[in-house]
Chains A and B, each alone.
Chain A
């Protein structure tokens, strides 16, 4: 569990208990079977929304085809009941298993795609299944009625019992979401949503976490679909695999609040009764008009609250009322990762490293070494290949040739998160933060990425914050931090993974002179404490102060290496930076 999770869990748990008890109490007094049906549908769609929220809300993997899992749940329950006379009490768990299997089958090829391509290919699955079922002759499946022992077959004459079962399912679904949100699972998903590459560089195995999210999501969606079939009594491919079914969880979640446990619940609690009462009131007068009014209502509310109602209300009215988290205690015992002692040989030995993009040799036959406890400045004009060099070193790009040995171990040919776990931390030119999460959670991601268990991860994150001098800000939301603090936050995130080598990409970019000095002091202290650092930087005066040695790159190749003083007087370096004319004028 994450820092502060127990407080959050207790608070959310009380709200959940109160809301569900109140809801059941209200439903107990509703005898009108139509209103009772609406009360049953609200939790079902809320559960479906919650399942979508795990993959697409927290994980940012937009799915327009969640009906796949919903429909698989519904059809498993129906077919098992029709052909094997299997009660839905067991059919729903079987459907959840099928949902998990479907998630693996769908996820394996589809996670190769990203962004819009992923979203659109997800859309294809339910449509394909829809036609397959029509072809197989399952277009109208009715759940057989059991006149004896109806309750054993999840058939109730009293509609209120359907609402009870649906509400219990919702409670289970929300508890699952609360667990996800408050564990490393949720944080890993948030990190992936923010920037998949940065998340991998922080040691997170993105593909594995995305797959876990899809499986969890598929299981929950299938449970919702299975219960829906029992309420619907007749299952058609369109009613469980149709486009509108896929749209439903997207709409309720976007409306209620993305990446929040309560979002889908709020969305379903408002939209489902709204749609139904429009049907009942307007639909009887002018058939079809209810769809227009419903659409217009959604547009208006989404324009007014683009993040969803939950976040808008929280950001606008409840900011002051949010309970402040207790300030963290000073880190008691920081578990440190132990690395084999490197003394005689350099920590990083790069030899003849090359990488081309078509005809452009972005990195060409680059060789250098970094000694332990050294700060190596990598400088060069724009387009010299500095960032590409880092990308090749930490596995974002594959090398065409060459080697890179970290304490004698080959770094090349590994995945990004694997390189991170060898003890290489990395920061990026553009800071990626989770604005709504506290600073500490932003940093803990790095510790999770390194594979530390919960308690140790928090301790490591606090220690990292202490190293960069921001421990007192640990509970502040990242959205309220200054640019310098964000830079330091990113540095802390890399440090939380307890690396032995830091690759820093323009950490000082956009900082004023005083801010720059503060960051430089932090870096110098880190080196004194034993850290080894390679830093890309443009600000010459800062590099002169900081770096022990320079490597100068130009057109992808090493132009010069050596002590800062020697390098800046090197004619070739001056020419590369300032041009031949400048040199000629100097000589004249």
Chain B
């Protein structure tokens, strides 16, 4: 994991330097449009930030190679990247620095972690800079802000969709509806509010009974006492909501020890970390086989060629959640700039508000619709599901993006 990160960073560094040199040449042409990317490039979330950066840079190169912004005489896009570092207050400082160093930005995207995005958008909103983000928290677009656009389904929306999606998936795959569920989650805020909703409504609505319901405080030291009772309870599937790779590993190893891993008991995790290449390195393909996760989006079969180019270009094992969002965000700015026809942040923001597309960047989302509501949330944003199959996470839900059918063992 460390090695990949190091290579990733070195590559990223090389790219930054290279783009800096390229910039000096390009700077001769007056028509250049600056977009900011503010993501964690150092600290514990750096890996995700670097994955976003790789996707964003590829999109910039693709747009420029295809002739830039045509309505602006072929103006080239330029990505200005900034580091949030490891805390909300440092993210906010970086945003302030970004705005003062680059006064002619037309928009920006990133932040990845919701608390960073919340802090950063407090600054960008005041500067009236349009900001796109993949962060999930409902708070981000719950403040009545006019310049913040959330492309992922919000956390609440994902939570509401997860269990119905799973039941639906099981029904389609096996022809039977699951009846018994085990709930295991760490006590981080998102999980607490998610399970509250599940216990109060969702279980009843879906005709499910929770045969096991346990919360724990992360990090885990030993998962035995958490996993052993699940085996005795014999659920049809298990929701396993941890929030980091080390806990994922301990839990999965323990499931394997009790003979439940490898697809024998359908396990559903949550969040992008389930699709992280690091998880493969620390556990193994056989243990991960069949592990599912609900998340905001994943490259589907429409993006096969793009994914292949990404892997060749970056040497990353696959094109995933973080890189995909960054790629789409650049494309959305490209569309808005085409419509605005001028490098003006207010006009770009207005163009984003008026987007209503079913092609172009819209094709990157299940449902193929790109439109933002009054709050800045994407209309019809739905949850996607991935599953580890033969050492690789693949999209299995919804139908529009699925590249493989789900592995789901027969239920008694």
- Within the complex, the shortest CB–CB distance from A519 to chain B, in Å, comes to 59
Q: Which residue from chain B places its CB closest to the CB of A234 in the assembled complex? A: B119
Establish whether residues A142 and B123, one from each chain, have CB atoms under 8 Å apart when the complex forms: no
A530 at the interface (CB under 8 A from B): no
Complex Cα distance, B92 from A183, in Å, reads 41
Q: Which residues of the partner chain A approach B89 to less than 8 Å between Cβ atoms?
A: 232, 239
Establish whether residues B82 and A284, one from each chain, have CB atoms under 8 Å apart when the complex forms: yes
Establish whether residues B189 and A34, one from each chain, have CB atoms under 8 Å apart when the complex forms: no
Q: Which residues of the partner chain B approach A145 to less than 8 Å between Cβ atoms?
A: 122, 125-126, 143-145
Q: Which residues of the partner chain A approach B170 to less than 8 Å between Cβ atoms?
A: none
Q: List 30 A-B contacts (CB under 8 A).
A: A33-B96, A34-B100, A35-B100, A37-B93, A37-B96, A134-B189, A137-B189, A137-B193, A139-B189, A140-B88, A140-B118, A140-B139, A142-B119, A143-B122, A232-B88, A233-B123, A234-B88, A236-B87, A236-B88, A238-B87, A238-B115, A239-B88, A244-B87, A280-B101, A283-B83, A285-B16, A287-B41, A287-B46, A287-B85, A288-B43
- Within the complex, the shortest CB–CB distance from B192 to chain A, in Å, comes to 7
Complex Cα distance, B96 from A135, in Å, reads 30
Establish whether residues A142 and B122, one from each chain, have CB atoms under 8 Å apart when the complex forms: yes
Q: Which residue from chain A places its CB closest to the CB of B91 in the assembled complex? A: A234
Establish whether residues A279 and B189, one from each chain, have CB atoms under 8 Å apart when the complex forms: no
Establish whether residues B122 and A135, one from each chain, have CB atoms under 8 Å apart when the complex forms: no
Establish whether residues A287 and B114, one from each chain, have CB atoms under 8 Å apart when the complex forms: no
Closest 5 CB pairs of A and B: A288-B42, A287-B42, A287-B41, A233-B122, A34-B100
Establish whether residues A288 and B46, one from each chain, have CB atoms under 8 Å apart when the complex forms: yes
B-contact 0/1 string along A463-474, CB 8 Å cutoff: 000000000000
Q: Which residues of the partner chain A approach B16 to less than 8 Å between Cβ atoms?
A: 285
- Within the complex, the shortest CB–CB distance from A157 to chain B, in Å, comes to 7
Q: Which residues of the partner chain A approach B87 to less than 8 Å between Cβ atoms?
A: 236, 238-239, 242, 244
Q: Which residue from chain A places its CB closest to the CB of B193 in the assembled complex? A: A137
Establish whether residues B187 and A135, one from each chain, have CB atoms under 8 Å apart when the complex forms: yes
A327 at the interface (CB under 8 A from B): no
A144 at the interface (CB under 8 A from B): yes
Complex Cα distance, B96 from A276, in Å, reads 11
Establish whether residues A234 and B115, one from each chain, have CB atoms under 8 Å apart when the complex forms: yes
Partner of B118 from the list A32, A142, A238, A280 (CB cut-off 8 Å) is: A142
Q: Number of contact residues on B: which range applies?
A: 35 or more
A positions within 8 Å CB-CB of B? 32-35, 37, 134-135, 137, 139-140, 142-145, 157, 232-234, 236, 238-239, 242, 244, 276, 279-280, 283-288, 291
Q: Which residues of the partner chain B approach A232 to less than 8 Å between Cβ atoms?
A: 88-89, 92, 119
- Within the complex, the shortest CB–CB distance from A423 to chain B, in Å, comes to 55
Establish whether residues B94 and A279, one from each chain, have CB atoms under 8 Å apart when the complex forms: yes
A-contact 0/1 string along B47-72, CB 8 Å cutoff: 00000000000000000000000000
Establish whether residues B119 and A33, one from each chain, have CB atoms under 8 Å apart when the complex forms: no
Complex Cα distance, B101 from A239, in Å, reads 24
B positions within 8 Å CB-CB of A? 9, 13, 16, 41-43, 46, 82-83, 85, 87-90, 92-94, 96-97, 99-101, 114-115, 118-119, 122-123, 125-126, 137, 139, 143-145, 187-189, 192-193
Complex Cα distance, B264 from A33, in Å, reads 57
Tell me whether chain B's interface is mostly helix, strand or loop, or mixed.
Answer: helix
Establish whether residues B139 and A142, one from each chain, have CB atoms under 8 Å apart when the complex forms: yes
- Within the complex, the shortest CB–CB distance from B31 to chain A, in Å, comes to 25
Partner of A236 from the list B94, B101, B115, B123 (CB cut-off 8 Å) is: B115
Q: Which residues of the partner chain B approach A137 to less than 8 Å between Cβ atoms?
A: 189, 192-193
Beyond A33-B100, A288-B42, 11 extra complex contacts between A and B, CB < 8 Å: A34-B101, A37-B96, A135-B187, A145-B144, A234-B118, A234-B119, A279-B83, A279-B90, A279-B94, A287-B85, A291-B42
Complex Cα distance, B145 from A143, in Å, reads 13
Q: Which residues of the partner chain B approach A142 to less than 8 Å between Cβ atoms?
A: 118-119, 122, 139, 143
Complex Cα distance, B188 from A238, in Å, reads 14
Establish whether residues A279 and B88, one from each chain, have CB atoms under 8 Å apart when the complex forms: no
Complex Cα distance, B187 from A283, in Å, reads 33
Complex Cα distance, B102 from A34, in Å, reads 11
Q: Which residues of the partner chain B approach A288 to less than 8 Å between Cβ atoms?
A: 41-43, 46, 83, 85
Q: Which residues of the partner chain A approach B96 to less than 8 Å between Cβ atoms?
A: 33-34, 37
Q: Which residues of the partner chain A approach B126 to less than 8 Å between Cβ atoms?
A: 145, 157
Complex Cα distance, B43 from A60, in Å, reads 34
- Within the complex, the shortest CB–CB distance from A225 to chain B, in Å, comes to 12
- Within the complex, the shortest CB–CB distance from B73 to chain A, in Å, comes to 30
Partner of A33 from the list B85, B99, B193 (CB cut-off 8 Å) is: B99
Establish whether residues A140 and B100, one from each chain, have CB atoms under 8 Å apart when the complex forms: no
Q: Which residues of the partner chain A approach B88 to less than 8 Å between Cβ atoms?
A: 140, 232, 234, 236, 238-239
Q: Which residues of the partner chain A approach B119 to less than 8 Å between Cβ atoms?
A: 142, 232-234, 236
Establish whether residues A34 and B99, one from each chain, have CB atoms under 8 Å apart when the complex forms: yes
Q: Which residues of the partner chain B approach A140 to less than 8 Å between Cβ atoms?
A: 88, 114-115, 118, 137, 139
Establish whether residues B188 and A284, one from each chain, have CB atoms under 8 Å apart when the complex forms: no
- Within the complex, the shortest CB–CB distance from A146 to chain B, in Å, comes to 11
Q: Which residue from chain B places its CB closest to the CB of A142 in the assembled complex? A: B118
Q: Which residues of the partner chain A approach B9 to less than 8 Å between Cβ atoms?
A: 287
Q: Which residues of the partner chain B approach A291 to less than 8 Å between Cβ atoms?
A: 42
Complex Cα distance, B114 from A145, in Å, reads 18
- Within the complex, the shortest CB–CB distance from B38 to chain A, in Å, comes to 12
Q: Which residues of the partner chain A approach B192 to less than 8 Å between Cβ atoms?
A: 135, 137
Q: Which residues of the partner chain B approach A285 to less than 8 Å between Cβ atoms?
A: 16
Q: Which residues of the partner chain A approach B46 to less than 8 Å between Cβ atoms?
A: 287-288
Establish whether residues A32 and B100, one from each chain, have CB atoms under 8 Å apart when the complex forms: yes
Complex Cα distance, B97 from A284, in Å, reads 11
Q: Which residues of the partner chain B approach A276 to less than 8 Å between Cβ atoms?
A: 93
- Within the complex, the shortest CB–CB distance from A307 to chain B, in Å, comes to 30
Q: Which residues of the partner chain B approach A35 to less than 8 Å between Cβ atoms?
A: 100
Q: Which residue from chain A places its CB closest to the CB of B90 in the assembled complex? A: A279
Complex Cα distance, B101 from A139, in Å, reads 30
Using known A-B contacts A144-B143, A157-B126, determine if residue A234 contacts B83 with beta carbons closer than 8 Å.
Answer: no
- Within the complex, the shortest CB–CB distance from B378 to chain A, in Å, comes to 21
Establish whether residues B188 and A134, one from each chain, have CB atoms under 8 Å apart when the complex forms: yes
Q: Which residues of the partner chain B approach A234 to less than 8 Å between Cβ atoms?
A: 88, 92, 115, 118-119, 122
Q: Which residues of the partner chain A approach B145 to less than 8 Å between Cβ atoms?
A: 145
Q: Which residue from chain A places its CB closest to the CB of B82 in the assembled complex? A: A284
- Within the complex, the shortest CB–CB distance from A237 to chain B, in Å, comes to 10
Using known A-B contacts A140-B137, A145-B143, determine if residue A286 contacts B99 with beta carbons closer than 8 Å.
Answer: no
Q: Which residue from chain A places its CB closest to the CB of B13 in the assembled complex? A: A286
Q: Which residues of the partner chain B approach A280 to less than 8 Å between Cβ atoms?
A: 97, 101
- Within the complex, the shortest CB–CB distance from B102 to chain A, in Å, comes to 11
Complex Cα distance, B41 from A34, in Å, reads 20
Complex Cα distance, B115 from A283, in Å, reads 21
Complex Cα distance, B88 from A37, in Å, reads 15
Q: Which residues of the partner chain B approach A37 to less than 8 Å between Cβ atoms?
A: 93, 96
Complex Cα distance, B327 from A323, in Å, reads 67
